[in-house]
Amino acid sequence: MSRRFDDYFEKKTILITGAASGIGRAAAVLFAKQGANVVCSDVDDKLGHETLALVQKAGAEGIYVHADVTSRQEVRALVKQAIQTFGKISFLFNSAGSAINRCSFLDIDDALLDKTFNLNFKGTFYAMQEVLPNMLENKHGVIINMASMAQKRGGPGTSVHYASAKGAINTLTLGVAREFASRGIRCLSISPGPIETAFQAASNTTKEMSDKFAADIPLGRIGQPEEIAELALFMCSNACEYMTADTVYVSGGGGWK
């Protein structure tokens, strides 16, 4: 018999980085509608508080905490506040990330490389290290990391730096999942193709680039944040208990050339 998770998330707590917009916001609202407590984190306080308002409008409890994921100290303070407020963290969704700036491989300088790995890889690494002790104490937890279809293709011409950081996240996900599988922890990653979020503009994605991305998608459109959030919800649920260590590609069939 198929297992449903209608009340599975009730009063369980999820911590979401990058919750101010895009996929992070969509996930915050979706988990809230399932009854979860939602800890929203970002560096954009205005949009972060807007997400919190949406969480509360959905009938769930939540808090917003300003935290720069590139700072271990701020991530530690974020996790501490989440635990003080809700007692334990059942789910972590590392949604914060950006390509910072798109450029050719030879134009990647040290500053861009450092910013890219600090935000995408170290931000994910810090959150996992800070949250895992609480999950291990409670013998349960699911961690979802945001990877990218880019790591499958390498990001030639526009984002080798970003693709490399996301490839490292998949390796990190695999290692942590296998190390802690016997202690009640599952860890997965999601590798989307192009998704319609502020990410594209923030990373200086030109219209020409966007058109090229879209032309490679058999389903004929860019993905929506809610579609990734739905997958994250399923991954965290009791309908997905045999899945860990893997990444799931969500690309509309594109991105394989």
CATH code: domain of residue 107: 3.40.50.720
Q: Which of 8, 126, 162, 249 is catalytic?
A: 162
Domain containing residue 98 = 13-250
Residue 6 lies in a domain: no
Neighbours of 80 (CB within 10 A): 13
pLDDT (tens digit per residue) in 151-183 = 999 999 999 999 999 999 999 999 999 999 999
Residue 256 lies in a domain: no
pLDDT (tens digit per residue) in 183-231 = 999 999 999 999 998 755 555 566 776 677 778 899 999 999 999 999 9
Q: Specify the DSSP class assigned to residue 122.
A: I
pTM over 0.75? The answer is yes
Residue 93 lies in a domain: yes
Residues 6+ away with beta carbon under 8 Å from 41: 15, 16, 17, 18, 19, 48, 64, 65, 66, 67, 69, 78, 96
Residue 31 lies in a domain: yes
Q: Minimal CA–CA distance to 39: which of 85, 96, 95, 98?
A: 85
Residue 29 lies in a domain: yes
Q: How many domains does the chain have?
A: 1
Residue 136 lies in a domain: yes
Residue 57 lies in a domain: yes
Phi, then psi, of 15 in degrees rounded to 5: -105, 125
Residues 6+ away with beta carbon under 8 Å from 6: none
Please indicate whether residue 126 is annotated as part of the active site.
Answer: no
Query: Could you tell me if 69 and 119 are in contact, meaning their C-beta atoms sit under 8 angstroms apart?
Result: yes
**Over 13-64, what HEC string results?**
EEEEECCCCHHHHHHHHHHHHCCCEEEEEECCHHHHHHHHHHHHHCCCCEEE
Distance CA 46, CA 251 (A): 31
pLDDT (tens digit per residue) in 101-126 = 999 999 999 999 999 999 999 999 99
The token duo for 137 is 């104490």
Element (H, E) at 249: strand 247-250
Residue 201 lies in a domain: yes
